[in-house]
């Protein structure tokens, strides 16, 4: 029995690329008919010299530049955000993208939780 992939997507690690590269990679994923693109929602990263842009801001830019790919964070950290803020961000992204926003939610990783 052969199992076929039902979806194909990618996780873009924003701390390893410039914002321009991240936008270009997302547009490419959309053109290649990927089903979804996701990115991390971190405040801190192990490399203090790496820039780490705000996920919700980049996801909005992704939505404007793409036509079909679904967009999300890998995990939206519910521990450090009020539920209303999370709901407003995902609802706004969903409107901007005509229903392509996806919410992944969880507590998060220790490196992002310990400062809070």
Is residue 13 one of the residues assigned to a domain? yes
Is residue 24 one of the residues assigned to a domain? yes
Give residue 61's domain range: 9-113
| pLDDT digit string, tens, across residues 77-99 | 888 888 999 999 999 999 999 99
Domains in the chain, number? 1
Q: What does the pLDDT read at residue 98?
A: 96
Structural contact between residues 9 and 26, judged by C-beta atoms closer than 8 angstroms? no
Banded model confidence at residue 65, pLDDT cuts 50, 70, 90: very high
Q: What does the pLDDT read at residue 88?
A: 96
Active site residues: 42, 109
Q: What is the pTM of this model?
A: 0.84
Is residue 3 one of the residues assigned to a domain? no
Is residue 84 one of the residues assigned to a domain? yes
Adjacent-strand bridge partners of 1: none
Section 48-52 average pLDDT:
75
């Amino acid at each position: 029995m052969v199992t076929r992939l039902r979806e194909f997507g990618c996780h873009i690690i924003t701390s390893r690329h410039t914002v321009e590269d991240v936008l270009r990679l997302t547009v490419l994923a959309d053109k290649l008919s990927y089903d979804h693109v996701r990115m991390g929602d971190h405040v801190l990263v192990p490399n203090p010299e790496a820039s780490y842009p705000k996920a919700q801001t980049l996801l909005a830019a992704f939505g404007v530049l793409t036509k079909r790919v679904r967009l999300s964070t890998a995990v939206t950290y519910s521990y450090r955000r009020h539920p209303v803020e999370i709901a407003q961000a995902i609802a706004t992204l969903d409107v901007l993208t005509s229903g392509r926003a996806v919410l992944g939610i969880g507590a998060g990783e220790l490196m992002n939780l310990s400062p809070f």
